[in-house]
Structure 1
Amino acid sequence: MTAPVVPTPPRSRLTRFVPLTAQLRTYRREWLGRDLVAGVVVGALIIPKNLGYAGVAGVPLERGLYAAAVGAIVYAVLGTCRQISTGPSSGIAAVAGGAVLATGVTGPDVATLVAGITLVSGLMFLALAVFRLGWLSQFLSRAVVTGFLFGAAIDVVVGELPKLTGTDAEGKTSFRELWSWLTGLGDAHTATVVVGVVSLVVVFGLHRAAPRVPNALVLVVGGLLASALLDLGDRGVALVGDIPSGLPSLEVPDLGLLTDHAGSVLLAAFALVMIGFSQTAGDARAFAAKHRYDVDIDQESVAQAGANVGAGLLQGMPVSTSLSASSLNDRAGARTGVASLTSGAVVLLALLVLAPLFSSLPKPVLAALIIEAVVMGMMDVPEMRRLRRVSRVDFWVAVAALVATLVVGVLAGVVVGIVLSLLWLVHVVTHPRVTTLGRERGTQVFRDLDEHPGDETVAGVVVLRLDGGLFFATADGVADRVRRASGEAGVRAVVLYLASVTFADSQGTAALSDVVRTATEAGVDVRLAGVRPAVRRVLERDGLVAALGKDHLHGNVHRALAALAGPSPDDDPAVRVTGS
């Protein structure tokens, strides 16, 4: 069944910068019930999850609820996607937690540092929108993000293991911390282990057996009941401690603290923006396509900027699109941002009324909640399998990002991931694909000869197709390939098919001119085919067209071969079939 088209009213300055007003202008009465139900359902889901995300970031648990409320409300007002739910997520919480570990900050300064990182990431989101810099996120490949998040999830899981056993663990890397935990298992607290194991069974069991049941909510409610009925605190099971009720106050993070750790703050904020933007842009486009309305990606960056600035000033933690909450929002029937407003209101109500109840939540229950969140939200095993099947290079890049995150830490793993992405990009760009072509029998179609070895070739003529640009990064690679082709024994002509070349610069044309001149001096006839107008103008300005002669430029490979062979390449006795 095709989704109905969502009406879009004429845009004004107000509706452009405050998209919720546009949604309200066309609001239908029958949507209200669906929006309210979706908002309540999502609110019930994100309350326990955001307690866990706060634990991942290392901040007081109420800070996760502050961020969830601010993120949901601000995004509802400024965002253009009607189904997205914005708040803390496992990935960005892991980045924030990694920044805390990298700086070595402890005590009350942790929450201040995370709030400051959140504020800076919001300002970066705003710069992304104002200067239209969304393309920067393309430098963090999906393979790298997959590996980085997988490694960060393992790092988080290792950090939560001591809470499941009531023991301590130390180590600068995940491997050392894991070994420290394993060697200390002899001191495990029995009651804590029982609570932890039961919690893991409940949260993972419900996820597998009843995926529509809010397993996090069930686990938190069950943990609170068990804590009260079994006196778990008196039995030695650690509890999360006091969680104050009330709303957050406006507070600018300590600028001195941020300045002291400027490098880590900027790096963490940049990582949050890169990961958050790619998530937001992809999810917004997907929901908009499903429900047949338009989204403004630049305005999405503004919405994320507002949500993070608000969360930072209200003592929260970083926020971004939550795919699990957004999908639930969609399934529950959300039609507009009113659903997200409702979710924010539910979280605020919980802060006012329910917050102290979470004080008796056992820490092993919270650890199980965190472990399930990062395992299911960040360990993308199907994607790793797909990468291994589709592209071994991408798979090993993902594995490298994963291992680097475990070896050098989450925050440094971001740097390694960016470097890996750039190195792979440089490798691809500087190694252009130059393919030898043959002609499909009885046609004028020219194809990759390696894939179709039975295709026809013309004796003494090599046809090469360049895929990519002809510029400084590819110039040497292209020139070397043409030089090798023209230097082969018996070669009397080389046809360069440039239909796939969309860009050329001075260095690229200079390299091509040099190799063409060398080939011509050696008696090899060089022809260009399928040259695009923009590329041809560059070649003309560099004098290559004049040096070759306009009669050496042809519309396609067939015409180039016809010019080389005479009246018709089909009548040329030099045509032979390879592989016969």
Structure 2
Amino acid sequence: MDPQAPAAGGTRAAGGASRLFPIVGWLGSYQRSWLRGDLIAGVTVAALIVPKNLGYAGIAGIPLQNGLYAAAAGALLYAVFGTCRQISMGPSSGLAAVAASAVVAAGITDEGDIASFVAGLTLASGALFLVLAVLKMGWIAQFLSRAVVTGFLFGAAIDVVIGELPRLTGTQTSGTNSFQELWSWLGSLGDANVATVLVGTISLVVVFGLRRIAPQVPGALVLVVGGLVASYAFDLGEHGVALVGDVPRGLPSFAVPDLGLMWDHVVPVALGAFALVLIGFSQTTGDARAFAAKHRYQIDVNQESVAQSAANVGAGLFQGMPVSTSLSASSLNDHAGARTGLASITSGVTVLLTLLVLAPLFSQLPKPVLGALIIEAVVMGMMDVREMRRIHRVQRFDFWIAVAAIVATLAFGVLAGVMIGIGLSLLWLVRVATQPDMPALARQPGTQVYRDRDEHPDDEQPAGVVVVRIDGGLFFATSDALEDRIRTLIQAEPDVSAVVIDFEGVNFIDSQGSAKLDDILVLCQQAAVSLRLARVKPRVRAVLEREELVTRLGSDHIHGNVHRAVVAHDPTPRDKDAADSSPADPG
């Protein structure tokens, strides 16, 4: 166990206060030796996230300072409510893309309304997180498969990159989807501003080049500082390079978003909040578990929902944008020596000091520099080429699901891409659940082991006995398939006198499944075939007993393994003793 880390119970201390406010637990056991690491980690992470959050605000289409408001609120509130000591909470490229898509879906164009809408969307996602925490429904995030998330994020990144291209050329584009916007941008290149193109090109080279040759250098910070220096030194605004405009100094103020605006666009708000929760929960929970496992302490998944709720509610009420974990910032936090939530508090306070002291400097930031910053953030944070290659190598069906999510995102928008991705995940789930494998089995020579005879064609087929295994639950969606499989096997082998169903893979059976098993018994009786079951789990057998199938089938036709079932039907001289010793096995 990490000798410098607080005890695992620090974040789960007894008592209602420490359970709801984990900060009480780790503050009570805080040690002076942790202070230096926490402070260094907090300041280091702030240096990374300040320039990145300017970019995330740009993706969402809100004033740049609003991204910093969200970063401060997320970091401070997560430190109070979160159970992971290394997490860095704040805006992310994926969440910003979802927020921007919700704005587009709502058809809002006024900058003030966009900021209020995004804040309201953030508040709504925080409320939804709280509902999930109270009802303990975090499992709902599992309905978004990893392949769909990978594809959606990849498509969203491409969408954001296409949207940022006009900033690199100083041109205007139009279109209702990414393909149309890209075509429009290509047609506008004749009107490109030379100075803007030069600044944009240099910015891309700097930020991607540093990541390539000096990955330890904070490229986003270097790019922002360099862009500001160049803007002042060469008076880029006078050469036709667009600047981001006024970024006021000061702390965020408490403001309830325009509820009327939210109600007028309730459908995009509901869909956007749901998408934000699915993505945010899966990101934060996965990262929190990884850091907890690394440092050998426990997190509370339900409390993580509470923490995300608090962070998003706070960000929404202080004119921010959606927040969740950032893996790059959290990894930096961990590497820099974070031991407790004080590191997160330090990050939040540093961001607030930046707003108080340095915010006006950002007003001279060239828009092509901001565009390059955004492009680097989404390309490196959302385009997971390695994962796409892995999926393609491991499971081609998952790969095409990811590709479908990419195409849907580009064709119909990020928000629609999330919804289509959820639909694809559910369809995939239904496909897997309703089409379980039902292989016919044969015996490995010289053993009592029965295995898939298609994979092992040289195995021994017991005379007159068909053995089939169902690899999945037996319920309303699969029961007909089992009956069809048994019927097909009986018809394909006219000399069959017994059917053995291996229930090893059946963990669940519903009333329709038990009724269908009764139909299969009738089918076998009509065909003068004996039906036997093997390896029936206790809770599955309990359902069969309530169905009274065990009585009709006979308890002597339920066996502990496939070999006993086969031998019990037709014992050979060599196997007679084994059959006599256990003719009726309870399974």
2:525 is the alignment partner of 1:524: no
Would you say 1:510 and 2:515 are equivalent positions? yes
Q: Could you say if the C-alpha distance between residues 292 and 3 of structure 1 is closer, same or farther in structure 2, counting changes exceeding 3 Å? A: farther
Q: CA offsets, 1:21-42, max 9 Å, x none?
A: 1111111111100000000000
Matches of 2:241 and 2:300, distance apart in 1: 49
- For 1:217, the equivalent position in structure 2 comes to 221
Q: Decide which moves more: 436-445 or 38-47.
A: 436-445
Structure 2 distance, partners of 1:234, 1:19, is 52
Contact 1:3 1:292 in 2 (8 A): no
1:95 to 98, 106, 115: 98
Q: Distance in 2 between matches of 1:207 and 1:473?
A: 50
Amino acid at match of 1:23: W
Q: Measure the CA separation in 2 of the matches of 1:308 and 1:127.
A: 13
Alpha-carbon distance in structure 2 between the residues aligned to 1:476 and 1:166: 62
What displacement does 1:6 show?
3.6
Q: 2:348 aligns with which of 344, 348, 353?
A: 344
CA contact (8 A) 2:244 2:364 kept: yes
- State the shift of 1:459 in Å: 2.2
How far apart in 1 are the matches of 2:264 and 2:30? Answer: 49
Query: In structure 2, the residue corresponding to 1:433 is in which secondary structure?
Result: coil
The reply on whether 1:491 has 2:491 as its aligned counterpart is no
Q: CA deviation at 1:169?
A: 0.7
The equivalent position to 1:198 in structure 2, one of 198, 202, 218, is 202
Distance 2:4 2:224 in 1: 38
Task: Answer yes or no: is 1:73 the counterpart of 2:76.
Answer: yes
1:59 to 59, 62, 68: 62
Listed one character per residue, the Cα deviations across residues 1-36 of structure 1 (whole Å, up to 9, x for unaligned) are: 977664124422111111111111111111100000
| Native 8 Å contact 1:146 1:398 kept in 2 | yes
Residues 203-212 or 434-443, more deviating: 434-443
Greater CA drift, 27-36 or 63-72: 27-36
Distance (Å, rounded) in 2 between the aligned partners of 1:153 and 1:443: 55
1:454 corresponds to 2:458 = yes
Alpha-carbon distance in structure 2 between the residues aligned to 1:520 and 1:390: 44
User: Which residue matches 1:128?
Assistant: 132
Contact in 2 for aligned 1:438/1:449 (Cα 8 Å): yes
User: Hey, what does 1:576 align to over in structure 2?
Assistant: none
Distance 2:215 2:51 in 1: 16
Write the letter of the residue equivalent to 1:485. Answer: L
Corresponding position of 1:368: 372
**5+ unaligned residues in a row in structure 2: which ranges?**
578-587
1:320-374 CA distance string (max 9 Å, x none): 0111100000010100000000000110000000000000000000000000000
Match of 1:556 among 545, 553, 561: 561
Percent identity, aligned pairs only, is 66
Contact 1:45–1:216, Cα closer than 8 Å, also in 2: yes
Work out whether residues 6 and 339 of structure 2, in 8 Å CA contact, stay in contact via their aligned partners in 1: no
- Contact persistence 1:20–1:337 (CA under 8 A): yes
* 1:304 aligned residue: 308
Structure 2: how far apart are the matches of 1:477 and 1:456? 26
**3-state SS, counterpart of residue 439 of structure 2:** strand
Opposite residue 175 of structure 1, the aligned amino acid is: F
Residue 536 of structure 1 is matched in structure 2 by: 541
Q: What is the aligned partner in structure 2 of residue 105 from structure 1?
A: 108
Say which SS state the counterpart of residue 237 (structure 2) adopts: coil
Q: Is the 8 A contact 2:160 2:375 kept in 1?
A: yes
* CA distance, structure 2, for counterparts of residue 495 and residue 209 of structure 1: 63
SS in 1 for 2:470: strand
Which amino acid counterpart does residue 552 of structure 1 have in structure 2?
H
**1:142 CA displacement:** 0.9
2: CA distance, partners of 1:359 / 1:14: 43
The whole-number CA distance in structure 1 between the counterparts of 2:420 and 2:546 is 42
State how far apart, in whole Å, the 2-side matches of 1:233 and 1:437 are.
76
Q: Deviations over 1:24-66 (max 9, x none)?
A: 1111111100000000000010000000000001101000000
Of 340, 351, 359, 1:355 maps to: 359
Aligned partner of 2:550 in structure 1 is 545
Does the CA contact (< 8 Å) of 1:128 and 1:134 recur in 2? yes
**Corresponding letter in the other structure for 2:365:** L
Q: Partner of 1:454: helix, strand, or coil?
A: coil
Q: 1:413 aligns with which of 411, 414, 417?
A: 417
Aligned pairs for 1:281-320 within 5 A: 281-320=285-324
Q: 1:179 maps to what in 2?
A: 183
What RMSD, in angstroms, separates the aligned Cα atoms of the two structures?
1.4
Correspondence for 1:577? none
Q: Matches of residues 158-169 of structure 1 in structure 2 within 5 Å? A: 158-169=162-173
CA distance 1:27–1:485, change in 2 (3 Å)? same
Aligned position for 2:327:
323
Distance in 1 separating the partners of 2:360 and 2:258: 27
Structure 2 residue aligned with 1:266: 270
Match of 1:33 among 36, 41, 45: 36
Cα distance in 1 for partners of 2:3, 2:212 equals 29
Cα deviation, residue 461, structure 1:
1.4
Deviation for aligned residue 1:543: 2.5
- Assess if the C-alpha contact under 8 Å between 1:6 and 1:292 holds in 2: no
Distance 2:514 2:4 in 1: 52
Deviation, 1:570, is: 5.3
Unaligned runs of 5+ in 1: 573-580
Matching residue's letter, 1:126: L
Shifted more, 481-490 versus 517-526: the winner is 481-490
What displacement does 1:451 show? 2.2
CA distance in 2 between partners of 1:180 and 1:3 (Å): 58
| Cα distance in 2, alignment partners of residues 342 and 209 from structure 1 | 30
SS in 2 for 1:204: helix
Per-residue deviation at 1:460?
2.2
Contact 2:4–2:339 (CA<8 Å) still a contact in 1? Answer: no
Query: Could you tell which deviates more after superposition, 87-96 or 562-571?
Result: 562-571
Amino acid across the alignment from 2:513: G
Question: Quick check: 2:5–2:339 contact (8 Å CA) kept in 1?
Answer: no
The question of whether the paired residues in 2 share the 8 Å contact of 1:67 and 1:319 is answered with yes
Conserved 8 A contact 1:4-1:291? no
